Structure formats: structure tokens, C-alpha cells
Amino acid sequence: MDQISTRQSLPAEPRDFGFYVDGAWVPAAERAVFTRHSPAHDVPVTRIPKCTEGDLDMAVDAARRAFDDRRWSGLSGQARAAVLLKAGALIRARAEEIAYWETLENGKPIAQARGEVLGCADMYEYASGLARSLHGDSFNNLGDGMMGLVTREPVGVVGIITPWNFPFLILCERVPYILASGCTIVVKPSEMTSATSLILAQILTEAGLPDGCMNVVTGSGSTIGQAMAEHPRIDMLSFTGSTAVGRRVVEAAGKSNFKKLGLELGGKNPQVVFADADLEDAADGVAFGIAFNTGQCCVSGSRLIVERSVADRFAEMVRDKLSRAVVGDPLDEATQIGAITTEAQNRTILFYIEKGKEEGARLICGGGALDMGQGQYIAPTIFGDVTPDMVIARDEIFGPVLTILPFDTLDEAIAIANDTDYGLAASVWTKDIDKALVVTRRVQAGRFWVNCTLAGGPELPLGGFKQSGWGREAGKYGVEEYTQIKSVHIEIGKRRPWIA
Ligand code: TXE
């Protein structure tokens, strides 16, 4: 795969998209259209239809038909695997194009976007194996007259609502696993970043996915997203986004058909650094953990909990690392930190930076917007002397803002790490295996990293403890999540009569 150049150019015209239902594009036609501007370049890049609730019904009907007539769930695992493998190959072949539109709508560095897209191809390849190995259980110990089976069946029509921070990655942490299980899908991407979800739908059709199994409806969260949560013919909904909207989704599911829910919500993730760690390695990891994707990352390591004896030296090491990160035009191959994706998020991050200053935290670096001539950028920011009660230590900021909380003992480090409503991810940095294991056991988080951070891949599951969510995505757990279990009792020979 060739890279087009070290600095791709902007599109001459915004690209027009329709939405995707029953294996075909539906043109925007007379519907209202949302024009998305690149947050890094301030120019229009895509035009996306604002779908109506009628459009959603059309997509749900298509997914419903495709599920109910068994055109997908009735295929063998081998046949489903073939489609997933082909999809992985097509994603690889079109990685440059997907990364380009991801970068334009999201503002993330093109090299990072490319890496994410290739990682997504791997998920389809991995999930193809799961389509073939998914199985239930059997009971051969019920006596000579009875055998028991436990089978797994696909849940049905699955809705997926995604956010704008990793539009393609978060989608692909779900779609191949859901398809491997035999379910059909209706997606609503974030209105800010719809392009790559739409491109994916077309790729899946090209890969041989039967019509109606993957549908994408674009539009706002308050209309289409809310209508999905309330929809009586959607059997399960996977929602990734804010905790506040997650709460609304739970209420809507309860008021409609009790659809099964998967929720991946916010995080305020601890990075616990002991004095005996390889501090050079840890400083690089902590800088990466807070600045990757400009901190707009549910698993970003936003709370640095560091042993007091090295706290000042370590803060200086992280500051030095961040000062050397390349911030700039995300279309430039060398860029490591791009733009903030939405205007609302930009305002939110700047609000929290001012809050930190008001609360009396010590500003170590950054502290405001970066003027790059165009687009919206925020300087990587570190606050020292943070106390656990400060707002900047408690709220998910979702930006490149690191708060430092020192500790003296292992127990204190664990207590600070757990002093949050969230439980999505955590890291520990130490050369002492006992400390690493104690922290790994006692800190409440769905994903844990030892002497690394933000590592991932299709094999290991992701999801949160506490208010970070429900359920797991990826790995074998990610397929099982989209199945329901049926138990089957089979009589062997003549039944013992109830009335003789
Ligand atoms: O999220 P929303 P926003 C957090 C992060 C960020 C904050 C706000 O702290 O600052 O959320 O971001 C759709 N019913 N995370 O406003 O609104 C919406 O269209 C159904 C963490 O963008 O939750 C989009 O597709 N759906 C998170 C998706 O929900 C609704 C990633 C997420 O939007 C809806 C993103 C409704 N009533 C933000 N309203 C993470 N864990 O990665 C909106 N949506």
C-alpha cells in the first residue's frame, strides 16, 4: 500500500454522501444535509444527510428482514468467515482512503489514522475465526434418559451508536464480532464523523455480506440516536459515548422493549508510577497515554498517580517528552498530535484548564489554546499539586490534560486510583512484580496495562467496571456478548409417564 504523499491535499469540494440501507446507497435527495468542516483546516470536507425517523424505520426493517429470513444467521460459520476475511482484505486495500476521510473529519494525525484502519482489518480477520469456533456446551451426565445442550443464538438486530473520537476503530471493535455471531446491524455514527462508517457499509457489501445485514443511518443523537434507543424492533444496542447519554439510553431501553444493552462510557484512568519503575519508559508511556488522540480517548491515562519521592523529577520528564511531541497539521505524516475534533469539546477542555487554575493546581506546562493559523488546537497541559477532591481530578476532561496526584504508600496509590466513579482502564509502572500484581488485582478497571499503556488488539476484550459501562467488546467475549443462550433437554428413549 503506497502512501500518497507526505502531505495529502484537501479535497477541492466537500464529498457528498448518501446513507446506506439494504445493500445500497440512498441519496440525500430532499433531506437536510449536515456539512462537516475539518477541525484542523476550517474547510468543508463532507456533506452528510440528516436522516429522519422514517429513514431509521426503513433501515431497521431491512435489518429485521435480513435477520428473520436467516440469510446471514442461517449460513455456516465457514461462509460467514469468508465474508469477514474478504472485508479485512478490502479494508487493507482501501486503508489510505479510509484514513484520509477519518483524518479530515476527526483531526487526528494521518499516520495514526492509517494504523487504526490497518488494526481494524485485523479485527475482521480475527473475528472470521470466531465465526467458525463459536459454540455452546453439552451435558452428557443427566442419566441414560436425557441429554442436555446449550446453544448460542444471535441476539437479532443490533443497533450501534458511535462517538467521534475513534469513528472507524470503535465501529470495527464491534461490527466483525456482531457479524460473526450472525446478527444484523443498524449503525448511527456521530454526526461529526460519519464518512468512514458509510464507506465501511459499502465495503461489506463488496465483501459479499447479504443486503440488509449492515445499514448506516446518519443524523443527530437527539433524533436518530434517541429513536434507536426507543426502537421496539432493535433487539440490542451498543452505545459508546458520554455517561449522561448512556443514562438516557438505559431509560429508553427500559421504557420500550428492554433491549439488551452494551455500554462503553467515560473514564478517568489512573497511571500508577512507582519510584522503582524504568522512569524513562514510564515518562514516555504517560506522555503517550495523555496526548494520544489529543486525549480524546475513553482510556486515556489522565490521572498520573506517582510516588512522591520521584514526583517532581518525573513530572519534569513527562513535560520534556510532551514538549518534543510534534503538534500540527494532521495531514502531515510527521504529526503526532492533531486538532480537537469538535468546537464543543474544545470549549469543554479549555473550561477545565481554567477550572484547574482556579482550583489552585500548579500549571507545569500548556494551559490553553495553540494558535496554528487555522483549526482548533490545545497545548498538552500538566497540572501538579492536584488533590483528589478537585474537579480536574474527578471529571473526564477528554483532552490533553494530565493531573498529577502524588502518593506515599502502595495502599494509598490504590485508594486514589479507585477514588472515581469510573473503571475503564488503568496502568501500573514498576519493576517489582509483586507490586504490579497487587495493583492489577485491586484497582477496579476493565483493562489493565503493566509497564505499558493503550496496548490493544482483537484478542483481548474491552469494557468498563463501575460507571464506565456494561458488557465487553472484542475477543471471544465480544462475539458471545451478541448471542443469547438456549438450553435444550433431549429425552432419549421412552419418557417416564406422568400418569401411568
Ligand atoms: O458525546 P455523546 P459527545 C464523553 C467525553 C465528552 C463527552 C461529550 O467526556 O466530552 O462525552 O461528547 C449520540 N440518544 N465521551 O457530546 O453526546 C451522538 O450522536 C442516543 C466519551 O459527543 O454521548 C453520538 O453518536 N444517542 C466517549 C454518540 O451518542 C445519542 C466518547 C456520543 O455522543 C443521544 C465520546 C441520545 N439522546 C464522548 N444524544 C468514550 N467513552 O469514548 C447523543 N447521542
Q: Which atom from ligand 1 is nearest to the alpha carbon of 469? A: 41
Instruction: Quote the CA–CA distance of 39 and 338 in Å, as a whole number.
Output: 9
Residues 471-490 have a mean pLDDT of 97
pLDDT exceeds 90 at position 7: no
Residue in 242, 255, 392 to alter for ligand 1 test, most ligand atoms within 8 A of Cβ? 242
pLDDT in tens, 61-82: 999 999 999 999 999 999 999 9
Chain CA centroid to CA 457, Å: 12
Beta bridge mates, 188: 161
- The set of cell numbers assigned to 302 is 489522565
Nearest to 399 by CA among 357, 443, 359, 344: 344
Enumerate residues 6+ apart whose C-beta is below 8 A from 123.
88, 172, 173, 176, 177, 458, 474
Averaged pLDDT of the chain: 97
Ordered strands of the 270-273 beta sheet: 362-365, 381-384, 401-407, 303-307, 270-273, 425-429, 447-450
Percent of the chain residues topping a pLDDT of 90 = 98
Beta bridge mates, 387: none
Interaxial angle between packed helices 95-106 and 110-133, expressed in degrees from 0 to 180 and rounded to the nearest 10: 120
Check if 307 is active-site. no
Residues with CB under 6 A from ligand 1: 161-165, 188, 190-191, 220-222, 225-226, 229, 240-242, 245, 248-249, 264-266, 298, 345, 348, 396, 398
Residues 269-289 have a mean pLDDT of 98
Q: What is the CA(163)–ligand 1 centre distance, in A?
A: 6
Q: What pLDDT does residue 226 have?
A: 98
Which residue minimizes the CA distance to atom 13 of ligand 1? Answer: 221
The one-character DSSP state at 209 is P
Burial class (CB in 10 A: 0-12, 13-18, 19+), 479: buried
Residues 300-316 have a mean pLDDT of 98
Strands (E), 136-190: 137-139, 146-154, 157-161, 184-188
Residues 421-433 have a mean pLDDT of 98
- The set of cell numbers assigned to 259 is 433491549
Nearest to 67 by CA among 146, 159, 132: 159
Q: Which atom from ligand 1 is nearest to the alpha carbon of 246? A: 23
Instruction: Quote the CA–CA distance of 12 and 227 in Å, as a whole number.
Output: 35
Which residue minimizes the CA distance to atom 43 of ligand 1? Answer: 221
Residues 249-260 have a mean pLDDT of 97
Q: Which atom from ligand 1 is nearest to the alpha carbon of 396? A: 9
Determine contact, residues 236/174, Cβ cutoff 8 Å. no
pLDDT exceeds 90 at position 127: yes
Instruction: Quote the CA–CA distance of 304 and 278 in Å, as a whole number.
Output: 15
Task: Please report the sign of the dihedral spanned by the C-alpha atoms of residue 310, residue 312, residue 318, residue 321.
Answer: negative
Determine contact, residues 108/293, Cβ cutoff 8 Å. yes
Q: What is the CA(344)–ligand 1 centre distance, in A?
A: 11
Q: What is the CA(458)–ligand 1 centre distance, in A?
A: 24
Q: Which is the catalytic residue, given 213, 298, 480, 481? A: 298
pLDDT exceeds 80 at position 354: yes
Residues 352-376 have a mean pLDDT of 97
Interaxial angle between packed helices 195-206 and 77-93, expressed in degrees from 0 to 180 and rounded to the nearest 10: 130
Instruction: Quote the CA–CA distance of 164 and 294 in Å, as a whole number.
Output: 13
Residue in 34, 51, 161 to alter for ligand 1 test, most ligand atoms within 8 A of Cβ? 161
Q: Cell 451508536 belongs to which residue?
A: 161
Q: What is the CA(307)–ligand 1 centre distance, in A?
A: 34
Enumerate residues 6+ apart whose C-beta is below 8 A from 271.
285, 286, 289, 301, 303, 304, 305, 426, 427, 428, 429, 453
Q: What pLDDT does residue 164 have?
A: 98
Check if 153 is active-site. no
Q: How many residues does the chain have?
A: 500
Q: What is the CA(149)–ligand 1 centre distance, in A?
A: 41
pLDDT exceeds 80 at position 390: yes
Q: What is the DSSP string of 364-420?
A: EE--SEE--SSS-EE--EEEES--TTSHHHHS---SSEEEEEEESSHHHHHHHHH-S
Beta bridge mates, 49: 33
Q: Name the pTM for this structure.
A: 0.97
Residues 469-473 have a mean pLDDT of 97
Q: Which is the catalytic residue, given 105, 173, 191, 264? A: 264
Q: What pLDDT does residue 4 have?
A: 45
Would you give the end-to-end CA distance of the chain in angstroms? Answer: 75
Q: What is the CA(401)–ligand 1 centre distance, in A?
A: 19
Q: Which atom from ligand 1 is nearest to the alpha carbon of 267? A: 41
pLDDT in tens, 153-211: 999 999 999 999 999 999 999 999 999 999 999 999 999 999 999 999 999 999 999 99
pLDDT exceeds 50 at position 1: no
Determine contact, residues 264/423, Cβ cutoff 8 Å. no
Q: What pLDDT does residue 8 have?
A: 78
Q: Which atom from ligand 1 is nearest to the alpha carbon of 265? A: 41
Residue 6's pLDDT band (boundaries 50, 70, 90)?
Answer: low
Which residue minimizes the CA distance to atom 30 of ligand 1? Answer: 221
Task: Please report the sign of the dihedral spanned by the C-alpha atoms of residue 425, residue 429, residue 432, residue 433.
Answer: positive
State the DSSP H helix or E strand holding residue 177, giving kind and residue range, or none if neither. Answer: helix 175-181
- The set of cell numbers assigned to 143 is 442419566
pLDDT exceeds 70 at position 481: yes
Q: What pLDDT does residue 335 have?
A: 97
Q: What pLDDT does residue 453 have?
A: 98
Torsion (CA) 299, 112, 217, 349 in degrees, nearest 10 = 50
Q: What pLDDT does residue 490 have?
A: 97
Residue in 169, 173, 245 to alter for ligand 1 test, most ligand atoms within 8 A of Cβ? 245
Which residue minimizes the CA distance to atom 19 of ligand 1? Answer: 221
412 — phi, psi (to 5°)?
-65, -40
120 — phi, psi (to 5°)?
-65, -40
55 — phi, psi (to 5°)?
-65, -40
Which residue minimizes the CA distance to atom 7 of ligand 1? Answer: 242
